[in-house]
Structure 1
């Protein structure tokens, strides 16, 4: 993906210069009457992808609602660093807002790794979105854990079902994962999930992934369809297995201290806009995933065979994945087990 490769040239230098500039000028955060407030909103994806368009739409709505008082600068992946850099920046208040994946916070908030559990959420993506929006286990209990680290998740939402890509052969059974080098996010539970299948997981930022797949440094990866297509991973992978083994969950997050110090009326608008965005972003991710499945199917220059798992094949993976839930309960924390139990009860109510 040429646009991304160019953006990464000189990334370290750009980060130093940009963060130094931001620290020097800062942004007003409330209590200044009609003074313009400048906020920074970072995402893990590049312009045009789901997280970025979410942040841009959020920024536009806040600008309109406040008659220009709130101006939000949106940063794509690489603009202020990689995924783990953005987590640190949000905690420290260098940025005010972020869309982030719980997978990159697993070492900090171990309970958040529950999103890595395969086959936890319903197969129906719309039902999953409804659960993410209304779950007390997530929006109250898990949020409190993040707030211990100065991060407040205001909403959880899906970017679509995850699929596997590979070379040589499609991934249709645990035997296909034996010694398979699967790129993963830096999360102990994601690692455990793939080791349970027999794979050899490799932590890696997505910014390095295209080259790693092309060179055979890793054998495959997982992502929603739109991301596989837009990042051009299908160009260097022979197969895409429609596994629907998990949903890619994103969080709309804010720096807790900054959020609590906002004027009441501005904070209310942030909450209102976050709530409005749940339906909007569901439609957007659905549109992008549908668009890119067609692009991948019709790319004759880089043909990728799309393989649908049968229900019997999925059940084999599901049975293995269920055992990983017990690993989560025993290895993460007692609170994590309680949150998972409550979430499973909430999911069962939608079956």
Structure 2
């Protein structure tokens, strides 16, 4: 009888220890579960839950507030993990405007893949900067080439004059970029964009093709234009205080889950533009798709130079990051296959 009781106590203790060691972590993001950030988040969640007793609760876009709210909640430790566009981070972490600079990153998906895997700017220089803001950087990844939707065809900065273009809030670089391109930038949250397009509060916006198709932005405009100026990028982070308190085993688990999720999204990112564009062509055959020629892009590239220079002049950290990114991109161009 005593032996049975002892076994019961041991078993109960083991169950209690297991329940104490397991945790449910919050993962919020600025997109839906089927979007690129969602693809990363689901892969991250699956890895964590397959390799541990920990659970991940995913909160898609709009569940816990706007993008800027999510970043502050993560810094405060109310959310453990966050997936967010790099464009939203510039207001809090100025160095993140690096990924929004026009005509710096290539649009070639293989070069981007190599860059995001091997970049010293991302893997060596950025993590200490995130630490200063109470965050641990897990990954930065591309979501597809930026496209611009409008109701009129444009082929030069002069054509954009007078157009009100919605840009993500929190990024001064985006404001500077569209001013340089000739338009009037209007910082606006994602939640307000659809209504603003329907009521002509703005004349256009930019997003990766997969987003334009997924949220029917092609139905709210007449023209989609590729000018080759940028890719849409996102990052995954965790609260630093939370991460620092994890056991060595769980720290490795988080890093391994991130590496797994990054492989998944980098593979998918190469297909996203094609998928989005293909669906637009099939479902909206009268929609006009424009790709500016190399010659037409020259005027935009010239206007982008002061924006790049302004970013570099703001701090030694900015300049160091941009210089390293350019070195990393040269390596990517040589080695991408």
Normalised to the residue count of structure 2, the TM-score between the two structures is 0.90
Q: Which residue of 2 aligns with 1:335?
A: 317
Query: Cα offset for 1:77?
Result: 0.5
Residues 117-162 of structure 1, C-alpha deviation per residue, up to 9 Å, x if partnerless? 1110123122112212221222221221121111121111100111
Residues 96-134 of structure 1, C-alpha deviation per residue, up to 9 Å, x if partnerless? 001112211212211111111111012312211221222
Contact 1:43 1:51 in 2 (8 A): yes
Q: Which residue of 1 aligns with 2:163?
A: 180
TM alignment of 1:1-351, pairs within 5 A: 35-66=21-52, 69-167=53-151, 169-186=152-169, 187-300=171-284, 303-330=286-313, 332-351=314-333
Separation of aligned partners in 2, 1:156 and 1:337? 19
Contact 1:164 1:171 in 2 (8 A): no
RMSD of aligned residue pairs (Cα, Å): 1.7
Greater relative contact order (Cα < 8 A, sep 6+) = 2
Q: Which residue of 2 aligns with 1:11?
A: none
Separation of aligned partners in 2, 1:193 and 1:204? 15
Query: Cα offset for 1:177?
Result: 1.6
| Deviating more after overlay: 277-286 vs 304-313 | 277-286
Contact 2:112 2:332 in 1 (8 A): no
Separation of aligned partners in 2, 1:341 and 1:288? 29
Separation of aligned partners in 1, 2:199 and 2:283? 21
Q: 1:133 to 1:33 in 2, by over 3 A?
A: farther
Contact 1:101 1:251 in 2 (8 A): yes
Match of 2:31, SS state, is coil
Q: 1:317 to 1:97 in 2, by over 3 A?
A: same
The runs of at least 4 aligned residues of structure 1 exceeding 4 Å deviation read 31-34
Query: Cα offset for 1:279?
Result: 2.4
Match of 1:121, SS state, is coil
Query: Cα offset for 1:243?
Result: 2.1
Match of 2:184, SS state, is coil
Query: Cα offset for 1:272?
Result: 1.2
Q: Which residue of 2 aligns with 1:20?
A: none
Match of 1:281, SS state, is helix
Query: Cα offset for 1:286?
Result: 3.3
Query: Cα offset for 1:329?
Result: 1.5
May I ask how many residue pairs the two structures share in their alignment? 316
Match of 2:164, SS state, is coil
Q: 1:259 to 1:95 in 2, by over 3 A?
A: same
Give unmatched runs, 5+ long, in structure 2. Answer: 1-16
Query: Cα offset for 1:321?
Result: 1.1
Separation of aligned partners in 1, 2:155 and 2:263? 33
Separation of aligned partners in 1, 2:34 and 2:328? 33
Normalised to the residue count of structure 1, the TM-score between the two structures is 0.86
Separation of aligned partners in 1, 2:19 and 2:64? 29
Give unmatched runs, 5+ long, in structure 1. Answer: 1-30
Query: Cα offset for 1:245?
Result: 1.4
| Deviating more after overlay: 92-101 vs 289-298 | 289-298
Task: Find the structure with the greater CA-based Rg.
Answer: 2
Match of 1:182, SS state, is strand
